[in-house]
Copies of this chain bind each other. A is one copy, B any other.
Amino acid sequence: MHILRSLPLFSTLEDSELKEIENVLMSYSYDKGQIIFSSYDGANGIYILTKGKVKLYKSFAGKEQTIRIFSPVSMMGEAGALKGGNFPANAVALDKVQVLFLPKEKLTEVIRKNPDIAMKMIGILSERLFHLVGLVENLSLKDAVSRVYDYIVHKADQNGKVEFKTTIVAMELGLTAETVSRAISQLKKRGKVKKEGKIVQLLY
């Protein structure tokens, strides 16, 4: 089964059409730290992440805010390609990354031909919107301790454990490492979590 099938957008596409898409796909790889696309680039297609992690972020005046972190298999850059113009943000490889590139002409052709795909794309964009509204809520309404706590709850496994690297979490939450460190101290003091090495454990 082709990897495109793992993408919700294309999961229901007919084999013949999938084949057509495969024919126009380009494959690229990037090393850690390399820029995959930036908000200064014209968006002439979408990227499908097949290996590695990618950080989507905005930067301005030396500061940086992470929008989201992508893991395989995900679609990236669709809003830019579908609106026309540039990408809304920058994407950087967090490790060795492999992507497939699909030109927007082919993408729009497929969408136009398949109402199901169109509806799925609409669903995906709506989901992205929800995610961003959540991010706005976090950034502007919640304080550092709540954000760190929410992060832990959100990422914890069944046993309430998370691997926790202060610096990384700080980036994801748009805080400094110092603030995250202090937040964890607070949460420990309040009996909300326990920390052993790099594992944070939720307490109930």
Q: B-contacting residues of A (Cβ < 8 Å)?
A: 58-61, 63-65, 67, 78-80, 82-84, 88-89, 108, 111-113, 115, 118-119, 121-123, 125-130, 132-137, 139-142, 174
Contacts and interface: CB of A to CB of B under 8 A. Distances in A.
B58 A136 contact: yes
Contacts of A65: 136-137, 140-141
Contacts of A118: 111-112, 115, 118-119, 122
Contacts of A89: 133
A25 B125 CA distance: 25
B82 A130 contact: no
A132 B141 contact: no
A133 B130 CA distance: 12
A86 to B, nearest CB: 9
A42 B144 CA distance: 29
5 contacts: A61-B142, A80-B126, A82-B122, A83-B123, A132-B135
